[in-house]
Each structure stands twice: as C-alpha cells, then as structure tokens.
Amino acid sequence: MEDEIKVVIADDEMISRGYMELFIKPSRRYTIVASLSSAQKVLEYCRESEPPDLVIMDIMMKSGIDGLTVAEMLKREFPQVKIILATSSLETSWWDHARKIGVESFWYKAYSRLSLLEIMDRTISGESVYANEETEAMLGKLPAAELTAQQRNVLRELTRGKSNKEIGEYLNIEETTVRYHLEEIMRKADIHSRVELAVKASKAGIVVSDEDRLQNT
C-alpha cells in the first residue's frame, strides 16, 4: 500500500481550514498532521516535528508573518517540503516571487475551477500548478484575466488612494498614461467612477499591495 502523504494546512480563517479539512480527510492518500491558524506556526511545526510532505498555506494573515514570507523561509530550511499557497486574491505580482523561491503551486480558493485535491495530486506528482487561466474573477463586466500587467500596477496604486499624478510618479509613467489606463478599464468594466473602480478591485482581491500583505510582519 502506498504510504500516506503527510499534510499541514494553515489558514487564519476557521471556516477556510474546515473547508480544506472537509475535502482532504476522506482521501486515503493524504493525512492532515496539523491544522494551524497562522503561517508562523507552520514554520514552528516543521522545526519542532518531522516536516510534512506538503504544506497548504494561505498568503494573507490577519496577524504574524504572511504566507509568502513563510514559504520562502520553509524553502530555505526544508526544500523537500512541497508548498501550495492558497489565496482568495488574484494579485499576480505574487506569482513571480513564489516561482522564484520554489513554491510549487497556487490554489485560488474563490475562483479556481480546479479542486484542491486535484492540485494536491498534481503537485505531489511533480507538477507546478499556477492555473491563473482557470480563474473566473470579474471586475464589473471585465474578466480580471484580461488586465495587462501595467493596468494592474495602476489599479493597485489606485486602491491605495493615490492620485493620477502620484501613480504616474510612483510607476515612472506619464500622468496621461495613467488616465488612459483607468479610463480603458472603466469602459470595459462598465464602471463609472474611480471610487467605484477602487472599491470593486479591492473587494474582489484583484490587486493587493505588498504593504497590505506585510502589514503584520
């Protein structure tokens, strides 16, 4: 019989942890050895106990170190542990960072068409699953997947309350370029004000600043 794969899950939301447990526990292939309420506790668990085969960890945490930062620490200390970062956000700037530090996969909790068990199976088998094309998040009437990298950069700074001039200076682009991108996004999304655009983008988790991710670190 194939050895069971030891799994640690970490999410600061009890409902999310319960959801993961609900799907994983019936599987004969996986055994949850720890269900933790913070990313920091994953690091502590791996240092004090036998490291698991797989860690499934949320990125955004209300307190303590965020999941992406802990994933980098885990990969340095326990490179054999495979990691799936879970998120309700579609913040694409995290993908390159995660790939660079060796995180195997992403699971989009709110949007993915792929089941958690499918991503787990593919990750354990050696695949790297960054299935952003599988997501269905919408910004008004605009599929979030259609936003360009620069549009996301502009949108991210808009959600932080910056003016067009401030966004342009921060991104080193012309103020007219900022205005063009915002007008284009609002036209395609059928959104009629900057405030509405910022609120909907933030609420949907389409963009998240590093300041917000690291706020409790």
Name the token pair of 63: 């307190």
- Could you tell me the pTM of the whole model? 0.70
Packed helices 67-77 and 39-48: angle between N→C axes, nearest 10 degrees: 20
Between 172 and 96, where is the model more confident? 172
Number of domains the chain contains: 2
Per-range mean pLDDT, top range of 2-6, 35-39, 159-163: 35-39
117 with 31, same domain: the answer is yes
Rg (CA), the chain: 19
Q: How confident is the model at residue 156 (pLDDT cuts 50, 70, 90)?
A: confident
15 with 72, same domain: the answer is yes
What pLDDT digit, counting tens, does each position of 26-84 carry?
A: 888 999 999 999 999 999 999 999 999 999 999 888 778 889 999 999 999 999 999 99
Domain membership of residue 156 as a residue range = 138-213
Residue 11 is predicted with a pLDDT of 92
Residue 141 to residues 120, 174, 181, 185, Cα–Cα distance (Å): 32, 27, 16, 10
189 with 82, same domain: the answer is no
Residue 210 is predicted with a pLDDT of 63
CA distance 58 to 50: 21
Residues 6 or more apart in contact with residue 114 via CB below 8 angstroms: 107, 129, 131, 134
Residues 6 or more apart in contact with residue 98 via CB below 8 angstroms: 68, 71, 85, 106, 130
68 with 166, same domain: the answer is no
Residue 1 is predicted with a pLDDT of 40
What backbone phi and psi angles, to 5 degrees, belong to 155? -65, -40
Beta-bridge partner residues of 199: none
110 with 144, same domain: the answer is no
Task: Tell me how long the chain is.
Answer: 217
Lowest mean pLDDT among 17-26, 176-185, 201-210: 201-210
What CATH number should be reported for the domain holding residue 106? 3.40.50.2300
Q: What single-letter amino acid sits at 19?
A: Y
129 with 179, same domain: the answer is no
Torsion angle in degrees (nearest 10) through CA of 19, 132, 73, 83: 50
Q: What single-letter amino acid sits at 168?
A: G
What pLDDT digit, counting tens, does each position of 99-154 carry?
A: 889 999 988 776 667 788 999 999 999 998 886 544 567 888 888 878 888 998 89
Residue 52 is predicted with a pLDDT of 96
105 with 150, same domain: the answer is no
